[in-house]
Structure 1
Amino acid sequence: MMFDDLYIAGLAAYLPERVSTQRAVAEGWYDAAEAEHLEWVSVAVAGDLPAPDMAVRAANEALAQSGHPAADVAVLMHASCNHQGPDMWSPQHYILRHTVGGTIPAVEIRQGCNGFLAAMELAGNYLAAAPQRPAALVTSADNWGDPLVDRWRATPGGLFGDAATAVVLSRRSGFARLVNVCATSLPELEELNRGGEPLFPPGCTTGVRVDLRERAATYKGSQDLVQAGRLMGETQRRLITRTLEEAGLEPGDISRIAHQFVGDEQVLRRLLEPFGEDAVSRGVWDFGRSMGHTGANDQTSGLFHLVSTGQVRPGDRVMLLGAGAGIAFSCAVVEILEPPPAGTPGAPV
């Protein structure tokens, strides 16, 4: 989906303190052999701060930067992966109550780690559908520290980090332009994240811990894990190509890449293969391996990192790469138009 007049007017992130993998090994939380094999440096840990409160902090910062009053915001979309609070409760309305308020629609997006990019595409379309809608607020937050998730062992090759991010999309102006978002799905691989677990009763109601490693090990799909991994890689590479072609761009036109956070540089090289030999240097490798995989926040916290540390300047284009359970993939192109707004870390004084 191409957007003619959709801008990022505000961008913020809540990034908790880090806990080093060295300490995790010493405490017995993280496997020493895996720590040596992979290259995670640390993980962001928010303690007992609820995910919706993290989202509120990021959202209010993004709103303050954007220049949009609360009355301009026409919709709120909140992306999440893990539990946000009590079951049968609405975190998106809690976030709405503590940010812009009012009676606008508030929607929770449950598309796993692809959620933020999916929410941006939906919010962009919502604004485009009616010219009287000036702005949208998109948030995401996860705290993986609950008793049913072991952030150090729950997912193959990964560590879960806590974070919240927020973006204000504007029809009027912004420091960056959202050029386009493209998406695709591989529903035949949904079982990868389900494995042998029954659909009912849900594991979270019976105290079953989240173990994505075990689910992958019990996967009995039509393709083995190697074939499934190959298909996912091919699908994401095709989506990258389609996103570039739709925007009239070549891989060399992309200055930086805000990708999924991984702890293995070889995995990252395969992920960024369409961008050539220097792709890793254009990514956010060091930042990502200091955070852990932050659910739907990887891409937007990566973009925030690039903006707030002055690593992008006007004229640069950043590609955001998302992937989530489903399997869902999204790609977006963001063009930097001017220095970040006042209030963003790294903004000119």
Structure 2
Amino acid sequence: MRTPGLWIAGVGTHLPPVVSAEEAVARGWYDAGTAERSGWTGAAVAGELSAPEMAVLAATAALERSGHPPDDVAVLLHASTMAQGPEAWPPQSYVQRRTVGGDAPALEVRQACNGMLAGMELAARWLTADARPAALVTGADNFGLPLIDRWRYAEGAGTDRLSVLGDAGAAVVLSRRGGFARLLAVGTLSVPALEEMYRGGLPLFPPEQSLGRPVRIGERLRRYRETDPASSAAARRSLDAARLALGTRTLAEAGVTADRVTRATHVFSGGAAYLESVLGPLGIDASRGLLEFGRTVGHLATCDHVVGLEHLVLTGAVGPGDHVLMMSNGGASLACAVVELVARPTWAGP
């Protein structure tokens, strides 16, 4: 979807302290051989700071940087992948109450690792029909949960994606008035066959977490691959084809060719081979990604892209005139956005 006249006015993140892979190995949390093979050097760990609280911290920074007062916000969209707090409780309302307040719609987005990019697309569509000029998109996860092991969640997948999970909060303010970057295009695609891959043969009811069973994503992928190898291979081919189609379409909508993409953000859950499979078919060298940075903080789920974009801006890796491709997959969907930097924001320093 082309998004003329839409800007990124502010971004904000909260990255808690990193626990090194070396410490995790010493404490028996992480296998030494896996750590050496995978290349992940650490994971951001929030301790007892909840995901919604991290989202509030990130949103507060993004709003301040954007220059938009709370009354400008037409909609708040909060994305997550794991539990946010008590069951049957609206985390998006918690974030709204502690940031913009008011009575604008506050909605939760459940699109796995695509959550914030999907939220940006929804916000862009919302702003075409609302008189208020801004939208707030937040995301956060704390993986320090009893039923998920951040250091071993991907074991058994049989791929090079032996990532670890990091905690974070992130936020974006989209604006029709201006900002440091233009959102040129954003879009999503669904690949419904992938739901079976991520379900891995588990029953739908009762939910596994209600039975106190640990969440092992890698084991689900392995089980599906071994139980139905033909369907598993077909699903992966569908994923690759859909990702190429979405990336090609979004770049075309943005009017940006692959050679003009300065850098790319992606989910921090794969190694060099994964990054090549994401960017290579689009004609973008994998070196333009954020592999090494992602390995220092872990896979931040829905926050990877906004944390990555802020990192690129703060470090000066991108500046006015540069283009950033944001390419994501999560669960049974894909998301993509193209951003053009138009100014170095004051919060990034000289």
TM-score range, shorter chain: over 0.9
Task: Return the letter of the residue paired with 1:67.
Answer: G
Given that residues 193 and 235 in structure 2 are in contact (C-alpha distance below 8 angstroms), is that contact kept between their aligned partners in structure 1? no
The residue that corresponds to 2:349 in the other structure is: 347
Given that residues 180 and 342 in structure 2 are in contact (C-alpha distance below 8 angstroms), is that contact kept between their aligned partners in structure 1? yes
Given that residues 185 and 251 in structure 2 are in contact (C-alpha distance below 8 angstroms), is that contact kept between their aligned partners in structure 1? no
In the TM superposition, residue 262 of structure 1 has moved relative to its aligned partner by 3.1
Give per-residue Cα distances to partners, 1:166-191, cap 9 Å, x unaligned.
00110111010111112111101201
The whole-number CA distance in structure 2 between the counterparts of 1:272 and 1:3 is 23
The residue that corresponds to 2:146 in the other structure is: 147
Alignment equivalent of 2:261, drawn from 242, 248, 254? 254
Does residue 210 of the first structure (1) align with residue 209 of the second (2)? no
The residue that corresponds to 2:293 in the other structure is: 287
The whole-number CA distance in structure 2 between the counterparts of 1:263 and 1:231 is 19
The residue that corresponds to 2:125 in the other structure is: 125
In the TM superposition, residue 311 of structure 1 has moved relative to its aligned partner by 1.2
In the TM superposition, residue 248 of structure 1 has moved relative to its aligned partner by 2.2
The residue that corresponds to 1:201 in the other structure is: 206
Does residue 161 of the first structure (1) align with residue 166 of the second (2)? yes
In the TM superposition, residue 222 of structure 1 has moved relative to its aligned partner by 7.4
In the TM superposition, residue 233 of structure 1 has moved relative to its aligned partner by 2.1
The residue that corresponds to 2:249 in the other structure is: 242
The whole-number CA distance in structure 2 between the counterparts of 1:122 and 1:287 is 28
The residue that corresponds to 1:328 in the other structure is: 333
The whole-number CA distance in structure 1 between the counterparts of 2:16 and 2:119 is 23
The residue that corresponds to 1:27 in the other structure is: 27
Report which stretch shifted further, 147-156 or 115-124: 147-156
Unpaired stretches in structure 2, ≥5 consecutive residues? none
The whole-number CA distance in structure 1 between the counterparts of 2:277 and 2:11 is 29
The whole-number CA distance in structure 1 between the counterparts of 2:232 and 2:59 is 38
TM-score between the two structures when normalised by the length of structure 1: 0.94
The residue that corresponds to 1:46 in the other structure is: 46
In the TM superposition, residue 269 of structure 1 has moved relative to its aligned partner by 1.6
Q: Which runs of 4+ in 1 moved over 6 A?
A: none
Given that residues 76 and 107 in structure 2 are in contact (C-alpha distance below 8 angstroms), is that contact kept between their aligned partners in structure 1? yes
The residue that corresponds to 1:56 in the other structure is: 56
Given that residues 143 and 162 in structure 1 are in contact (C-alpha distance below 8 angstroms), is that contact kept between their aligned partners in structure 2? yes
SS in structure 2 of the partner of residue 150 of structure 1: coil
Q: Percent identity?
A: 50
Given that residues 80 and 115 in structure 1 are in contact (C-alpha distance below 8 angstroms), is that contact kept between their aligned partners in structure 2? yes
Does residue 90 of the first structure (1) align with residue 97 of the second (2)? no
Does residue 184 of the first structure (1) align with residue 189 of the second (2)? yes
* Cα 1:225/1:38, change in 2 over 3 Å: farther
The whole-number CA distance in structure 2 between the counterparts of 1:333 and 1:59 is 22
The size of the alignment, in residue pairs, is 342
The whole-number CA distance in structure 1 between the counterparts of 2:219 and 2:110 is 22
SS in structure 2 of the partner of residue 126 of structure 1: helix
The whole-number CA distance in structure 1 between the counterparts of 2:123 and 2:28 is 43
Given that residues 280 and 286 in structure 2 are in contact (C-alpha distance below 8 angstroms), is that contact kept between their aligned partners in structure 1? no
* Cα 1:227/1:32, change in 2 over 3 Å: farther
In the TM superposition, residue 268 of structure 1 has moved relative to its aligned partner by 1.3
The residue that corresponds to 1:232 in the other structure is: 239
Task: Return the letter of the residue paired with 1:279.
Answer: D
The whole-number CA distance in structure 2 between the counterparts of 1:31 and 1:232 is 30
SS in structure 2 of the partner of residue 25 of structure 1: helix
In the TM superposition, residue 223 of structure 1 has moved relative to its aligned partner by 3.3
In the TM superposition, residue 195 of structure 1 has moved relative to its aligned partner by 1.1
The whole-number CA distance in structure 2 between the counterparts of 1:77 and 1:272 is 28
TM-score between the two structures when normalised by the length of structure 2: 0.94
The whole-number CA distance in structure 1 between the counterparts of 2:236 and 2:24 is 29
Unpaired stretches in structure 1, ≥5 consecutive residues? none
Give per-residue Cα distances to partners, 1:73-97, cap 9 Å, x unaligned.
1110000001000000000000000
Given that residues 40 and 263 in structure 1 are in contact (C-alpha distance below 8 angstroms), is that contact kept between their aligned partners in structure 2? no
The whole-number CA distance in structure 2 between the counterparts of 1:264 and 1:339 is 30
Give per-residue Cα distances to partners, 1:126-174, cap 9 Å, x unaligned.
00123x1210000000000010110011124221110111001101110
Report which stretch shifted further, 237-246 or 309-318: 237-246
SS in structure 1 of the partner of residue 305 of structure 2: helix
The whole-number CA distance in structure 2 between the counterparts of 1:221 and 1:89 is 37
Task: Return the letter of the residue paired with 2:349.
Answer: A
Task: Return the letter of the residue paired with 1:194.
Answer: R
The whole-number CA distance in structure 2 between the counterparts of 1:313 and 1:294 is 24
